[in-house]
Amino acid sequence: MTAATSITVRVPLTIRHRPGRKTVVTPMAGGVEPVTTRADPVLVKALARAFRYQRMLDQGRYASISEMAAAEQIERGYLGRLLRLTLLAPDIVEAVLDGTPPADLALPALLKPFAAVWGQQRAMWMIAAAAPKRPAATALALAPVPLERAPLPEPPAAVRP
């Protein structure tokens, strides 16, 4: 018989408690910090489902919301509320996915009726319009330049009425 030997391996990590789950965070490796997200998993999952259901409708997999609700075994009203999430302004969706939404922006608030106009959505949830993510000098260089309409040349004499 051989004597039992044990090997101890120590891995420096921390466990962070997130809403609905625990996350393992490893230490910095090579001077690069690990990418962490504070995104609410409930909101992220609802947005993912909403865009998935919308894509299935767009592809013609289901003819109606009622048909989809029956096939997916969810309530038709809930499916309609989820599909409304596809009307959110892109910067609001990005804030949810980045984990930086306003404190009052939770799934129950998003499932209530809201304006389809993006400016009104931003005002409703106190979100400033997204600033361009490029440097100001580049933004000025790429800004549209108003074009003056040049007068059209006179048609040839043979074409004139």
Contact 68, 62 (CB under 8 A): yes
> Closest by alpha carbon to 16, among 31, 42, 43, 37?
37
Answer yes or no: is 117 within a domain. yes
Please state, in angstroms and rounded to a whole number, the distance separating the CA atoms of residues 88 and 122: 9
Answer yes or no: is 10 within a domain. no
Place of tokens 């809930």: 78
Q: Average of pLDDT values for 34-57?
A: 86
Q: Is the pTM of this model over 0.85?
A: no
- Into how many domains does the chain fold? 1
b/e per residue 97-134 (b: at least 16 CB within 10 A): beeebeeebebeebbeebeeebeebbebbebeeeeeee
Range of the domain at 78: 41-129
Q: What are the pLDDT digits (tens) for 61-117? A: 999 999 999 999 999 999 999 999 999 999 899 988 888 888 778 899 899 999 999
Answer yes or no: is 122 within a domain. yes
